[in-house]
Copies of this chain bind each other. A is one copy, B any other.
Amino acid sequence: MARTIEVTDLILRDAQQSLLETSMALEDLIPVCEDLDNAGYWSLEVWGGASFDSCIRLLNEDPWERLRTYRKLLPKTKLQMLLRGQNLLAYRNFDDSIVEKFVEKAAQNGIDVFRVFDAFNDVRNLKASLQAVRRIGKHAQGSICYLPSPVHTVAAFVDIAQQIKEVGCDSICIRDVAGLLKPQVAYDLVKGIKQKCGKGTLVNVHTRSTTGVTMVSLMKAVEAGCDMVDTAISSLAFGRGHNPTESFVEMLEGTGYECRLDMERVLRVKHHIATVRPRYRGFLDGHMGVETEIFESQIPASMISSTEIQLKGQDTGHLLQDVLSEIRDVRRDAGYPALDPPADQIIGTQAVFNQLQGKYKVLTSEFADLMLGYYGTPLGEKNAEVLAMASARANKPPISCRAADLLQPEWERRRSEAAVLPGFGGTDEDVLTYAMFPKIAPQFFKTRMEGPKHIGNEPATVDSEQPDANRSGGASASPVTYVVSLNGKEHKVMVAPVKE
């Protein structure tokens, strides 16, 4: 009797986020829903990550409405989302009342499976959402953010899994967004988690195809006892995306493991997506080969790209290798968080400032908060000197408690603020949209009635606001805080005196 391996297909969310900047219009995805729903997937990832942001920022589409549409079109299959723990779908901690409200509304609108992660692997940041999910009877999947570091041994990751298990979850995901999970580590991790958390603990493996080794990692994970994997149908696979669903199914033949997918339906989806994909050529990530150099840098390929774009926008493209090296140093100084939102943006920006202004001459307020524990506590020791600097400049102490414990409930305030916005629909969903994206939600509410935009077949329109490096580098007698807009996101920057 072959053991069944369950599959979550990413084609409706992460695959297009990884390869097409989440640009795909719902109308191009609707035609594949019937086949997807009947193909026999364990779940379909349809929401979360950057898709919410992308809907309101680029597509003028209500992400809640998109979710409800998927729910209608995919009645048989569990719908899954990716949730950034206490950060929800944004880049800062929210208080528990907002987290709980979000989980409740997401479930009401159609989500069955909540995959929850925290870039710091600080399990306290998963607790509120995992528990909220379980209270309403949905599937709570806690994630390990896999990124190697000197302190991130297999044993350390297994410990994190055990902590997640203790908080309470229905399954555990080994989440490798860089594609750095090599076959032997995949095997050891799954084996270790099964041993420590119990054989019955469901384990999913999520990885990328970027380095060309992770199809083998999936095989080894299966051999070690993994229950579920993530793949994407092949017409939206490879490169910085994922391993192809069809190949995963085929490779298991005769191995004692099998998937129960209806391959005729899967192939129909493949062909439809291959047909519409050229509409999004302008968004297509051109990196479709393998990038094994990232085993050395341990920086996700997508972060390398965005750093390169950022530097080129400042005519400092020649600094790329230095900045990448600086990213590694800053990550080390910060105690080795995973390069996942929000840590990736904060560390990347700080590394750019370090290169342009001198090491830690400028601290972004986000980076200071990160050093001081206001996002979460990573596994590694922090650089004490940088920590002291952050505390002095931000004029606040480091914390060791869960960061969200310091937050005041903000639901009522956000509701009142949203209520006066033109186009506000009066729903809790709109309050949540506003709470997570207070800068762009007002504009979206205003234009929502115009309906979704199809942005395919047009050149990419990327927000290319860049910080004014000269301005932020000016010397002044004491730390001055002001706002720098970088890649469309505002950063409060503290400028320290430059010592000659």
Query: With A213-B215, A215-B212 given, is the CB distance from A289 to B234 under 8 Å?
Result: yes
Residue of B nearest to A235 (CB): B289
Residue of B nearest to A183 (CB): B251
Query: With A212-B243, A215-B216, A234-B212 given, is the CB distance from A267 to B255 under 8 Å?
Result: no
Shortest CB distance A233–B (Å): 10
B183 touches A219 (CB 8 A): yes
Residues on B with C-beta less than 8 A from A293 are 267
Chain A contact-residue range equals 35 or more
A183 touches B290 (CB 8 A): no
Copies per assembly: 2
Is A375 interfacial (CB-CB < 8 Å)? no
Query: With A182-B254, A185-B254, A267-B293 given, is the CB distance from A212 to B247 under 8 Å?
Result: yes
Residue of B nearest to A234 (CB): B290
Query: With A216-B219, A247-B213, A250-B213 given, is the CB distance from A234 to B292 under 8 Å?
Result: yes
B250 touches A182 (CB 8 A): yes
Which of B182, B244, B288 contacts A290 (CB under 8 A)? Answer: B244
Measured CA separation A289–B250 after assembly (Å): 15
Is A153 interfacial (CB-CB < 8 Å)? no
Is A253 interfacial (CB-CB < 8 Å)? yes
B254 touches A292 (CB 8 A): no
Per-residue contact bits, chain A 295-328, to B (CB 8 Å; 1 contact, 0 not):
1000000000000000000000000000000000
Per-residue contact bits, chain A 237-270, to B (CB 8 Å; 1 contact, 0 not):
1100001101101110111000000010001000
Is A184 interfacial (CB-CB < 8 Å)? yes
- Among A219, A253, A290, chain B packs the most CB atoms within 10 A around the CB of A290
Is A16 interfacial (CB-CB < 8 Å)? no
Residue of B nearest to A266 (CB): B292
Residue of B nearest to A210 (CB): B247
Residue of B nearest to A274 (CB): B289
Residue of B nearest to A188 (CB): B254
Shortest CB distance A324–B (Å): 15
Measured CA separation A271–B47 after assembly (Å): 37
Is A204 interfacial (CB-CB < 8 Å)? no
Residues on B with C-beta less than 8 A from A217 are 251
Is A211 interfacial (CB-CB < 8 Å)? yes
A246 touches B183 (CB 8 A): no
Residues on B with C-beta less than 8 A from A249 are 292
Residues on B with C-beta less than 8 A from A238 are 238, 288-290
Measured CA separation A237–B290 after assembly (Å): 9
Residue of B nearest to A254 (CB): B184
A255 touches B292 (CB 8 A): no
Shortest CB distance A228–B (Å): 18
Query: With A219-B219, A234-B290, A238-B289 given, is the CB distance from A246 to B212 under 8 Å?
Result: yes
Per-residue contact bits, chain A 110-145, to B (CB 8 Å; 1 contact, 0 not):
000000000000000000000000000000000000
Shortest CB distance A152–B (Å): 15
Residues on B with C-beta less than 8 A from A243 are 212
Residue of B nearest to A288 (CB): B288
Measured CA separation A234–B239 after assembly (Å): 12
Residues on B with C-beta less than 8 A from A292 are 234, 244, 246-247, 249-250, 263, 267
Residues on B with C-beta less than 8 A from A247 are 211-213, 290, 292
Which of B182, B263, B267 contacts A251 (CB under 8 A)? Answer: B182
Residues on B with C-beta less than 8 A from A185 are 254
Measured CA separation A238–B288 after assembly (Å): 10
Residue of B nearest to A293 (CB): B267
Measured CA separation A52–B255 after assembly (Å): 40
Measured CA separation A267–B291 after assembly (Å): 10
Measured CA separation A289–B249 after assembly (Å): 16
Residues on B with C-beta less than 8 A from A220 are 219
- A residues bordering B, Cβ < 8 Å? 182-185, 211-213, 215-217, 219-220, 234-235, 237-238, 243-244, 246-247, 249-251, 253-255, 263, 267, 274, 288-290, 292-293, 295
Known A234-B289, A244-B289; 14 more pairs at CB < 8 Å: A183-B219, A184-B253, A211-B247, A212-B244, A213-B215, A213-B247, A213-B250, A237-B289, A237-B290, A238-B290, A246-B290, A267-B293, A274-B289, A288-B288
Between-chain CB contacts (< 8 Å), 25 pairs: A182-B251, A182-B253, A183-B219, A184-B253, A184-B254, A184-B255, A185-B254, A211-B247, A212-B215, A212-B234, A212-B246, A213-B247, A215-B216, A216-B251, A234-B290, A234-B292, A237-B290, A238-B238, A238-B289, A238-B290, A244-B289, A246-B292, A249-B292, A267-B292, A267-B293
